[in-house]
Chains A and B, each alone.
Chain A
Amino acid sequence: MKQKYLFLMLMLLCTTIAQAQVTYPVNGVADNREGYYAFTNATIYTDYQTKVEGATLVIRNGKVTAVGKGVKVPKGATEIDLKGKYIYPSMIDLYTGYAMPKPKRSRGFSFASFAASIDQFISKKKGAYNWNQTVLPEVNAEQLFTIDQKQAKKWRKMGFGTVLTHKQDGVMRGTGALVTLANGRDNELILKGQASTHYSFSKGSSTQPYPNSMMGTVALIRQTMLDADWYAKGGSKKEKNLSLDAFNATKKLPAIFEARNWQDALIIDKVAKEFGKEFIIRGSGDEYHRIAEIKATGASFILPLRFPKAFKVEDPLDAEMVSLAQMKHWELAATNLAHLEKAGVNFALTAAGNPAFWKNLKKAIKMGLSEKTALKALTHTPAQLMKMDNQLGSLKKGMYANFIITSGNLFKGKNSIYENWVQGKRYVLKTMPTLDLRGVYALTLGTKSGYELHVSGKPGSPKFAIKQPGDSTNTKVKGKMSGSLVTLSFNLDKKKKGALKTRLSGWAAEKKFAGTGEDAEGKTIAWAATYKGKLPPPPQKKDKQGKGKQGKGKKGNKKKKPAAKSEMGEVIYPFVAFGNKEKPKAEDMLIKNATVWTNEKDGILENTDVLIKNGKIAKIGKNLSAGGAKVVDGKGKHLTPGIVDEHSHIALRSVNEGSQSNSAEVRMEDVVDSEDINIYRQLSGGVTAAQLLHGSANPVGGQSALIKLKWGEAPEKLLIPNADGYIKFALGENVKRSRYGFLARGRYPQTRMGVEQVFVDAFTRAKEYKAAKAKGGASFRKDLELEAMLEVMEKKRFVSCHSYVQSEINMLMKVAERFNFRINTFTHILEGYKVADKMAKHGAGGSTFSDWWAYKYEVKDAIPYNAALMHQAGVVVAINSDDAEMARRLNQEAAKAVKYGGVPQEEALKMVTLNAAKLLHLDKRIGSIKAGKDADLVLWTANPLSIYAKADKTIIEGAVYYDAKQDEQKRAEVKKERTRLIKKMMSKGGKGGGKRPIMRRQRLLHCDDLGGERILWHLSGDQDKVHTEQATEHNHKR
């Protein structure tokens, strides 16, 4: 209440500053003050790199008029002496929702809302806006802005003067406004009404299912940018679109994109480069996991300072639930900024909603971030990013008078921010002590003298003690100062406890006190104290010398750092258990005397050597000479080509964009997850390459990503360069949403009849699109969905189609033939054996399961002889996994074709190597052991088809990515690292303060996974919001 009143007073005093002419009426007599001040004798940071001591700052009308050493106090300016104090330009935060209406957030999964919106295909927003409810470029923060005094006060308290604010809702969020944190009419506070545009991967309050995946979101952003372009070039004649109008009008503004982790940041950069756009990336704090890739984006970042809490790890069983990545991030999160600074990444900081901001910043500085960069990131960089560095972020003539006054170095120790001046208005956060009264005073109480009054403590909050003559110890004094007024009370007679205290009231001036009071008898006395000299060194120091020294020693240690630093763990790639300290490198190798399954005419060669050079297979033969190559003994072992999985969903952050029947525009390349432990697990089963497919929730899924399992590399480097493009199609039960019960009856198709029509329609439209494209002109709109369909028709993109029953297999072949192309692969294809002759004639391959059946109605006729029968009929047959676990035993799954149907062993192995490579059009590069091919090889301990076979080494392009011995070492290292971190956590969080261990179990993605987006190892944990796009999680299988 009191504070509110004070605030009001302040406001009344301040509001009229600098408002010579305003558009609004003023009640009463004009009180136009100029806010003309001169701050003298201060240490001023005129910008992040210039510190001027004993300087003067002059402000007038909310702007700086002069700054520097030797600046004279102009006449008419109010002088404020800031001796011993610091002035900094005030902080700027570019990522806030300050004073914005709160977006409606859905609270977890609600069946009712899910049911209501599952078939919503068009935005529910009324008006001539975009079709998608999460594309909101028309949202304009300056129109929504109205001062929020409560929030403003909080911000000012943290030293901020200016923030960029936007409505944090949707994928395209519209424009942000740059506003000051002063109190006043909204008209004065907006510095730049449309300062920026904002993007995110979070759908926010949109109820529309599309997009319900990360890759769908990326596709939507791409398409919207294309649409905006089309609209500008003539599309506006065809339709009015207020969203695209707004997008085009604001597209030159600085654009800020929110990333939830470093992987997001890399995708943002990828899209930016595709469209020649620059995004400022709002990072997440885990950028140090892939600093090289982050640096390579060339983007500027806005970074939060949120560090995870320690876990409670005193229970060894429960501690198992905490992942290595969580532990390591706990230790290393504070080093993020230092890493970025060292790499030369340009960044600003954000404190939005983070009460630990300053504490964490100081921690980050301890971990190696320089003070200069910290100050830059809070002042200059944000101003520059907003193209306002000539007005904000430093204190130079003509710039906004936005600054803070502090007791000392902002980044060190327990300094106080005394005042925060915004647009020349003063906001007192803490009363600045005007007098430094510390010292020893000669005290007279009434008629008695000879006492000493000791004043110690801080200038603003002094501590008092009295020394009586002949007493070696001090008498305790309870004292309080308010401005220059002082109240003291004490008991001079130490023996008489509970006696009435002597109570004094008085006033201080330079080097003296005086006043009146009542003594222990209640008699009124006068008192006075005059300065005698400096305080003696505190006597306690002598008593506790040992402790004092220890304290110093500790401090010394802290400064020494290297000792402490060497205890820090290393960043591993990927940042999960079994990650590499150094990424595997290709080496020349000679594998000697192995049984070599060539998959070529030579068949299986006993006692044969294979030479690997420069990542390729150089020679196959007997008694080859190693040259400089490392010799690997292959005696008693079997060497095969690396296993290729035609159908995989590992290493993906999301799998289904199932909200529309056709999502050909989405690309799995956008969601490759290099941090998936299953990459490593599959290497241990000899898998070297895989097709990462979209799921089977809709007839036309998305574009595949073909990867090699290069554990440790960044997502982009997993992709196989120059591989053909693929796309997932799907038929049957999944696409007609058979298992949604009474839900989802709205989406077409609901029958296999409709499925056919979806394809015929898509290709018919693609044909028309082709004609329109050839014609070109302003009215031609590039459509990413139809582009992909056209690529299929033109044999530039190849189909892998999820399918089960013979009727639908036959149908799709006929549709393809009608549009003059071929289906490349039928995947799963459990009834392929019924139409194998037709498939062979059509030229389709079959990628199937070995022995799965009976899990759904459409596989009731599935038989384990399928692979053998298709093989017999001349179909190129592969055996795929669609399962993260089974993929590491694909060699043994292939062996089932020997049991069921008697396929020769050599042919069975081809089903998981060469044949899969053929289906992926990679057989010229991988799939067999032949000179010139990629050295993607597996050395097995036994016949690779046998249950007793274990991968001893898995090699990709000459680099060993899995080695059984190394694996053992890695396990020991993981254990050691965990033990070290547990020890460290025990000393920090073990005692009560920590978080309870919880374990984030990885969700395995299958064909039928809808929506549910996985953000693995999003380590900012509870503090940062992880926007999982869809709460609905249908974990059906296949």
Chain B
Amino acid sequence: MQRRNSMQTFICVVVLLYGVVFLAQAQRIKPADPQSRPIVIQGATIHVGNGQVMNNASVRFEQGIITEVGTSINTNGAQVINGKGKHVYPGIIALNTPVGLVEVNAVKASVDRSEQGNFNPNVRALTSFNTDSDVLPTLRYTGVLLVEATPDGGIVSGTSSVMELDGWNWEDAVLKADNAIHINWPARFSRSRRRGTPFGGKANKRRQRIIHLLTNAMREAKAYATVAKPAKVNLKLEAMRGLFDGSKTLFIHASYSKDIVESVQFAKTHGVQKVGIVGGYDAVKVADFLKEHQVPVVINATHRLPLINHHDVAYAYKLPGMLAKAGVLTGLTVGNERGISMADHGWRVRTLPFHAGTAAAHGLGTEKAVEMITLNNAKILGIDKQVGSIEKGKQATLFISKGDVLDMLTNDIEHAFIRGKKLILDDKQQQLYRRFKKKYD
């Protein structure tokens, strides 16, 4: 009986997998071709990404790189796109997402975001990133062009990579490989049986033990990193090497104020060069500390409920504005966090501009909100030299929207480019739409 059951499960999984793959294949969108000739977008409103807006401005890019931005630019030999009345934005960047690692959340066979065990610095999102995921093209349709594919689960979840949302394979799509290690800081207050839930339930009794383990691991990793070529290679410690020379960021997932301070101090004490807080629900309370230590905060959502009943109903809406005002480098994403509904679902990432819109409406302001999901996120990922704003010398990863991209009422992407490649803005959902629209017309 037992055997039969497991056999059934196996068959089920196989059938499911086959179904997903088969369906997807039938409607796959072709990756874009490299930019072959210069392109100029002319006479548009350019939201630079650094808080500036240029009206009636143009941008020229060649071979994937922005060569000119301004009011009067050279259109020689270029394909000209009329941008009149339209808006140009840098490609939106989403941090801390399961995009590419998850197809259908409830189907385990299609989920590759949490590895077994608690200490996994060596597992890499990069090599599991599925460029053929049906979810990917749907994100581009609201302006999201770059994601940080991020493992979750356990205490040290693994190593993320920054990916472009277009490409033949992960090697083709990668923008920055192995950019950061993510750890879930053991929360002071956690719900029983749900490790790490911020602000939940009773005081977490296991945390001290976990912190000891983390401390040991950090110490050993640091010592290990001093030897260039160790005789015995430890994959886990090897993966952490980059934390000490600044080539990898340590993203600490924490929400409660004390956890934030404690975890940042932990990282700094152990000589970690780049630290970022992900989550940061309570970060406003320790904004001065974060500013002093130049630790950026990545907010995982504005569309979430207050964690505490007596908090302002609009607390999460206002949080980006409050943090920005306090002078903390703040990024905004639709990211994975325990306690946020469907946070581990990649498809949600397409709502990122609207999360930013909500922040804009609640004290942040429109251009600051755009900055938060473009340049700030690029800075936090350490890719701001390449992307994040529409400036000369940066990659032409940008898009044209008919209206304000932060408002669902006007968010309407006409063209999108990644490194100058003009994306085919189509996806499975639009194909189905067209098919059935025709049926009812």
A contact residues vs B (CB 8 Å cutoff): 109, 317-318, 320-321, 323-325, 576-578, 677-678, 680-681, 684, 733, 738-739, 741-742, 745, 833-834, 836-837, 851-857, 859-861, 863-865, 869, 872-873, 883-886, 888-889, 892, 895-896, 898-901, 905, 943, 945-950, 967, 971, 974, 978, 996, 998-1002, 1004, 1036-1037
**A323 to B310 CA separation, bound complex (whole angstroms):** 7
B305/A885 in contact, CB under 8 A? yes
Q: Which of A836, A854, A896 has the most CB of B within 10 A?
A: A854
Q: Is the CB of A947 within 8 A of B310?
A: no
Interface string of B388-427 (1 = CB under 8 A from A): 0000000000000000001111011000000000000000
Query: Within the complex, what minimum Cβ distance (angstroms) separates B224 from chain A?
Result: 35
Q: Does B220 contact A (CB under 8 A)?
A: no
Q: Is residue B200 contacting chain A, with contact meaning CB distance below 8 A?
A: yes
Report the nearest B residue to A901, measured CB to CB.
B433
Q: Given A324, A948, A949, A967, which contacts B309 in the complex, CB threshold below 8 Å?
A: A324
Complex partner residue of B360 from A865, A948, A999, CB under 8 angstroms: A948
**Closest approach, in angstroms, between the C-beta of A733 and any C-beta of chain B?**
7
Q: Are A863 and B189 within 8 A (Cβ)?
A: no
9 residue pairs of the A-B complex, CB under 8 angstroms, read: A576-B309, A678-B305, A852-B342, A857-B106, A863-B430, A865-B432, A905-B409, A947-B354, A1004-B305
Return chain A residues, CB-CB under 8 Å to B105.
Answer: 854-856
Identify which of B106, B203, B406, B407 contacts A996 (C-beta below 8 A): B203
Given the known interface contacts A317-B257, A896-B408, the answer about A1000 and B201 at a Cβ–Cβ threshold of 8 Å is yes
Residues in B1-33 with C-beta less than 8 Å from chain A: 5-6, 9, 16, 20, 23
Q: How far is the CA of A267 from the CA of B191 in the complex (A)?
A: 30
Q: Which residues of A contact B345 (CB under 8 A)?
A: 854-855
B199 at the interface (CB under 8 A from A): yes
Question: Is A745 within 8 A of B5, CB to CB?
Answer: yes
Given A324-B309, A865-B429, A998-B203, A947 contacting B409 (CB threshold 8 A): yes
Q: A863-B432, A999-B201, A1001-B191 are in contact. Are A854 and B347 (CB under 8 A)?
A: yes
Q: Which residues of A contact B9 (CB under 8 A)?
A: 741-742
User: Are the CB atoms of A873 and B189 closer together than 8 Å?
Assistant: no
B436 → chain A, closest Cβ, in Å? 5
Does B96 make an interface contact (CB < 8 A)? Answer: no
Tell me whether A860 and B23 are in contact (CB under 8 A).
yes
User: Pick the contact of B305 from A681, A851, A859, A971 — CB < 8 Å?
Assistant: A681
Q: Select one of B285, B307, B313 contacting A684, CB under 8 A.
A: B313
In the complex, residue of chain A having the shortest beta-carbon distance to the beta carbon of B261: A317
Whether the Cβ atoms of A680 and B411 lie closer than 8 Å is: no
- Judged by DSSP, the binding face of A is loop
Assuming the A-B contacts A684-B314, A947-B409, are A869 and B437 also in contact, with contact meaning beta carbons closer than 8 angstroms in the complex?
Answer: yes
Contacts of B412 in A (CB 8 A): 899
- Judge whether B231 is part of the interface by a CB distance below 8 angstroms: no
Determine if A884 and B199 form an interchain contact, defined as CB atoms under 8 angstroms apart: no
**Contact bitstring B189-220, A, C-beta under 8 A = 1, else 0:** 10101000101111100000000000000000
Contact A892 B432 (CB under 8 A): no
How far apart are B237's CB and chain A's nearest CB, in angstroms? 34
B193, B309, B339, B440 — most chain A CB neighbours (10 Å): B309
B71 at the interface (CB under 8 A from A): no
A950 near B361: Cβ-Cβ < 8 Å: yes
Query: Chain B: how many interface residues by the 8 Å CB criterion?
Result: 65
Interface flag for B171 (CB, 8 Å): no
B433 touches A861 (CB 8 A): no
Closest 3 CB pairs of A and B: A947-B357, A577-B310, A856-B106
Known: A321-B189, A742-B6, A946-B409. A733 touches B106 (CB 8 A): yes
B303 adjacent to A680 (CB under 8 Å): no
Q: Which residues of B contact A745 (CB under 8 A)?
A: 5
Nearest CB in chain A: distance from B394 CB, A: 27
Q: Which of B300-358 contact A (CB under 8 A)?
A: 303-310, 312-314, 339, 341-342, 345-347, 350-351, 354, 357-358
Q: CB of B103 within 8 A of chain A? A: yes
- Interface presence of B378 (CB below 8 A): no
Q: State whether A863 touches B429 (Cβ < 8 A).
A: yes
Query: Counting CB contacts under 8 A, is B258 at the interface?
Result: yes
Q: Is the CB of B409 within 8 A of A943?
A: yes
Contacting pair A998 B201 (CB below 8 A)? yes
- B107 contacts the other chain (Cβ, under 8 Å)? yes
B409 lies within 8 A of A884 (CB): no
| Minimal beta-carbon separation of A738 from chain B (angstroms) | 7
Known A-B contacts A323-B309, A865-B429, A948-B361; A1001 and B203 likewise in contact (beta carbons under 8 Å): no
Q: With A855-B104, A971-B312, A1002-B309 in contact, is A945–B201 under 8 Å at CB?
A: no
Q: A946-B409, A947-B407 are in contact. Are A999 and B104 (CB under 8 A)?
A: no
Task: Find out whether the CB atom of B437 lies under 8 angstroms from the CB atom of A885.
Answer: no
Tell me if B163 is interfacial: C-beta within 8 Å of chain A: no
Q: Which residue of A lies closest to B406 (CB)?
A: A947
Residues of A near B312 (CB, < 8 A) are 971
Is the Cβ of B433 less than 8 Å from the Cβ of A998?
no
Quick one: given A742-B5, A869-B437, A947-B354, are A1001 and B407 in contact (CB under 8 Å)?
A: no
Q: How far is the CB of B261 from chain A (nearest CB, A)?
A: 9
- A851:B350 contact, CB within 8 angstroms: yes
Q: Which of B16, B203, B256, B440 has the largest number of chain A CB atoms within 10 A?
A: B440
Report the bound CA distance from A900 to B304 in whole Å.
Answer: 23
- Residues of chain A contacted by B200 (CB below 8 angstroms): 999, 1001
State whether the Cβ of B135 lies closer than 8 Å to any Cβ in chain A.
yes
Q: Which residue of B lies closest to A681 (CB)?
A: B313
Q: Is the CB of B436 within 8 A of A860?
A: no
Inter-chain contact A857/B107, CB cutoff 8 Å = yes
Query: Closest approach, in angstroms, between the C-beta of A357 and any C-beta of chain B?
Result: 27
B134-169 CB contact bits vs A (8 Å, 1 = yes)?
110000000000000000000000000000000000
Q: Which residue of A lies closest to B431 (CB)?
A: A863
State the CA gap A623–B266 with chains docked (Å): 66
A873 to B440, CA, bound (A): 6
A892 CA to B408 CA, complexed, in Å: 7
Chain B hits for A860, CB < 8 A: 20, 23, 104, 134
Query: CB-CB < 8 A to B134: which residues of A?
Result: 854, 860
Which residue from A321, A853, A998 sits with its C-beta under 8 Å from B347? A853
Tell me, rounded to whole Å, the shortest Cβ–Cβ distance linking B367 to chain A. 14
In the assembly, what is the distance between CA of A971 and CA of B310, in Å? Answer: 8
Question: Are B407 and A1004 closer than 8 Å at their CB atoms?
Answer: no
* Bound complex: CA A831 to CA B20 (Å): 16
B 112-149 binary contact with A (CB < 8 Å = 1; else 0): 00000000000000000000001100000000000000
Which residues of the partner chain B approach A578 to less than 8 Å between Cβ atoms? 310, 313
Whole-angstrom distance between the Cβ of B49 and the nearest chain A Cβ: 19
Give the CA-CA distance A855 to B430 in the complex, in Å: 18
Most chain A CB inside 10 Å of its own CB: which residue of B20, B104, B106: B106
Task: Give the residue name and chain of the B residue nearest to A853 (CB).
Answer: B347
Residues of B within 8 Å of A837, CB to CB, are 439-440
Smallest Cβ-Cβ distance to A315: which chain B residue: B258
Shortest Cβ distance from residue B253 to the other chain A in the assembled complex, whole angstroms: 17
A1004 touches B341 (CB 8 A): yes
| Residues on the B chain within 8 Å of A869, using CB | 433, 436-437, 440
In the complex, residue of chain B having the shortest beta-carbon distance to the beta carbon of A1006 = B341
Nearest A residue (CB) for B357: A947
CA distance A739 to B430 in the complex (A): 29
- Complexed CA–CA distance, A9 and B222 (Å): 76
Looking at the complex, which one of B197, B314, B432 makes contact with A861 (CB distance below 8 Å)? B432
Distance between Cα atoms of A956 and B291 in the complex (Å): 45
Are the C-beta atoms of A1037 and B342 separated by less than 8 Å? yes
Supply 20 further A-B pairs (C-beta < 8 A) apart from A860-B134, A865-B432, A865-B436. A317-B257, A577-B309, A577-B310, A578-B310, A833-B432, A854-B104, A855-B104, A857-B106, A888-B313, A947-B358, A947-B360, A947-B361, A947-B409, A967-B313, A971-B312, A998-B189, A999-B189, A1001-B191, A1001-B201, A1004-B341
Chain B residues within an 8 Å CB radius of A999: 189, 199-201, 308
Q: Which residues of B contact A873 (CB under 8 A)?
A: 440
Q: Which residues of B contact A978 (CB under 8 A)?
A: 310
B23 CB to closest chain A CB (Å) equals 7
